[in-house]
Structure formats: structure tokens, C-alpha cells
Amino acid sequence: MTILFDNNGVVSLSLSMTKKAAFYNGEWHTIDEASYERILTYINKNKSEEVLNDDKLRIQMIQENRSNMGIIDALVGVWMRRDGSKLKFTENILYQGNNFEYEFEYRISDISEDTIQLTVYGMEGILLKDKKLSNMTLRFDPTKSHMITNKNMVGGMTYKDKLILVDEEFQIGNFDDLFFLED
């Protein structure tokens, strides 16, 4: 089986073939040997990718499943910045640092179809415990695998960031995604 992906990683054609027949669009079609050779030339010329380990398909399936998740459920997980640093969201705790050693409580104040507004509070220390530290706006792409953050600190500083979802096996998002170009 040959699977062709477009530049966004979306399957554009799934094809199984022999020298006499090709299976696509859910049906077998008779082909001649010349057509078979032309198809092979097209596939090789366009540097398509024969998926042997199914990683791209698994990532695509994860993204498709996430697109059906509620936005609060989609927030939970590990998110990576371009520099490799990570944030981890659980039900109401935000972890930061190389080993997620910094803990902050967050409270959601508003939700829309693709955006979460939340407030971050300190959890430890005399000066930080239960103190409001920042307001954050988190905007998600339709697959809920890419996120743009806008953090407004209490002191007036503002930080914007682009994050992708990661798990133990895969980077579910991609920093080259068109979603990040829109911002």
C-alpha cells in the first residue's frame, strides 16, 4: 500500500496496486502495465512516502480523535515550545520547569469553541501562595494539537508562545503548521 500525504500531513491518496489492478476510493480498477509504470513514476517523482511504520497515520488518527474532544479535556497533557521546554496541564495544576518542578494552580474563567481564558495562582512560598500571577488566553487549532498562548503577568509583562502537544511516543503537533502562520 502506498499512502500519499500533502504538505500538511493529510492523506491525499491511499493506493494499493499490482501490475493489473489498483485499489483506491474503495474499489478495484483494472489498469495496464503502462499505467502501472506511470503511477510508480509519479509516486517516486513526488517523493511520496510509503508508510511502513504507520507513525504518520497514528499521529493523524490522534489528531482526528482530539478534534472531537472538549476543549478542557484537550488542554490536559504535555505541551512543548519550539525551544524544547515543556508545560504540563492537569485538571487544575500547571507544571513548568525541566522536570515540571514548578507548580501553579489555574482556574478557568471563560471558554469558547477554540479558546480558554484562565488565571494562574502561586501555590508555594510566603509571597506567592494563593496570589494571582497571570491571566492566560489559550487558543487551539481545530485538531487541538497546536496552541497559541498569550500570558499577561500581574506586573504588566506580556508573553506570547506557540506550543505543540507531545506524548511519550510522538510530537502530535508540528511547529510548521499553518495555524501558527495565522497569528
Quick one: 85 and 43 in the same domain? no
| Cell of residue 140, nine digits | 487551539
Average pLDDT, the chain: 84
Residue 16's pLDDT band, with cuts at 50, 70 and 90, is: confident
pLDDT for residue 37: 79
Q: What is the largest CA-CA distance in the chain?
A: 78
Into how many domains does the chain fold?
Answer: 2
109: amino acid identity, one letter: S
Print the domain residue range for 22: 2-52
| pLDDT at position 13 over 90 | no
Find the CATH number of the domain harbouring 151. Answer: 2.40.128
Residue 51: per-residue pLDDT: 47
Residue 104 belongs to a domain: yes
Q: Would strands 158-166 and 77-81 be described as parallel, antiparallel, or unpaired?
A: antiparallel
Question: Are 85 and 136 found together in one domain?
Answer: yes
- pLDDT tens for each residue of 120-142: 999 887 767 889 999 999 999 99
Give the closest residue to 152 by CA, choosing from 117, 178, 127: 117
Per-residue pLDDT tens digits for 23-40: 766 677 788 887 777 777
Question: What Cα–Cα distance (Å) separates residue 180 from each residue in 24, 46, 148?
Answer: 33, 26, 8
pLDDT bin (cut points 50, 70, 90) of residue 109 is very high
